[in-house]
Chains A and B, each alone.
Chain A
């Protein structure tokens, strides 16, 4: 596929173009193509609400996304899904298992869904997910749901990407809620206790409500919902909460600014390290400077500063 036809395809929401574009932004060596695509589509972004779903592994995030897709689609709201799963630190391989929990609803309602491996990135997301969100935004989605890797207490990057962060917890974690107060408990705009048919869910909801009673986010009061994903009990309230928060996020511009700031930070870091890497290879590893520094027993810190100071970094 030509780049130009991919960009045109994204704008008319063609599945294969969107899918191919995400493959390109996932491939680091195709950064020139990536930059061209993002540049072309960026003016079309800004419409979609971005919903982040995070929580510990096995709590029901993927199943919940399947249900949300079903309910939103039947309300004629266009939604797409990005799900991040962990890469093996040993083989680099990955078993992307999120899709299997939502496939039935995806097929029935024609929802686009893409699994992304985190390729070893900490924080619960992958590098490419930022660009993939822009692509799906430009493709005219009303909502983009981003599922994080099954999150620990400190996988918090989703808060920078999503307008609305939903933290999914379950019964049985209730008595440990105090312990996870820092980190994941601070990023949720909406909390959900899933699997409320299980024992202890009433207490879990109460515990959460008490913990959250002291935290405020401006005018937004953090709600706690109980859901049962088998029967979709509690989903009406959850959807209402998502709509309310997404309205609030859209009206304030704060979230969009925060996302832009964070994306800039990541992109700048990438650019700088690319330039440095190239420089390191060309000038330092292949030059004689390194040997001189070693001979004069210059410590690595001073040597690095010296090299950087003496060079003019060109973009």
Chain B
């Protein structure tokens, strides 16, 4: 695929010019605390992204299925129930088993500092907690989305 026009040095701002970042927000697990993720959904929309929210209580399987159907750039996972190590890993594992390497995973919620390196290891980055400025999260998502989009276009 000749996506080469996007890949020139210093031209990455063109990456999303005619197809905005597409992001899926999900809380896969038994966790009904969705105030935070709804705030983020609106913030991402206002930042010009096309936003999907998986609703309450989706399974890791259905999150990955949605991500593939919608061909998103980023899946943003959020949990406030302490199950992040189990559930985020499950999502990452399913994606890896399907050979999906052009969708970025980011995380957030109430995640203790000592868990963050473990999540980074399985490819879940960010892992921001309450009180993080929205601009920091948006910037991180944009960076990860650019990586994912380049991988999509480079083949």
Contact = CB atoms under 8 A, between A and B. Distances in A.
A114 B70 CA distance: 5
A99 B66 contact: yes
A20 B53 contact: no
Contacts of A29: 5, 17-18
Given A93-B44, A97-B53, A107-B65, A22 B58 contact: no
Say which size band chain B's interface belongs to: 20 to 34
Interface string A65-96: 00000000000000000000001101111111
B69 A28 contact: no
Contacts of B70: 19, 96, 99, 114-115
A33 B2 contact: yes
Given A15-B69, A22-B71, A103-B55, A93 B50 contact: yes
Contacts, number: 91
Say which size band chain A's interface belongs to: 35 or more
Interface centre among B1, B58, B68 (most CB of A within 10 A): B1
B52 interface: yes
B47 A91 contact: yes
Contact of A95 (B20, B45, B58, B71): B45
Interface in B33-59: 41-42, 44-55, 58-59
A100 interface: yes
Nearest to A19: B71
Interface of B: 1-3, 5, 17-20, 41-42, 44-55, 58-59, 61-62, 65-66, 68-71, 152, 155
Interface of A: 1-3, 15-16, 19-20, 22-24, 26-30, 32-33, 87-88, 90-97, 99-100, 103, 107, 112-115, 117
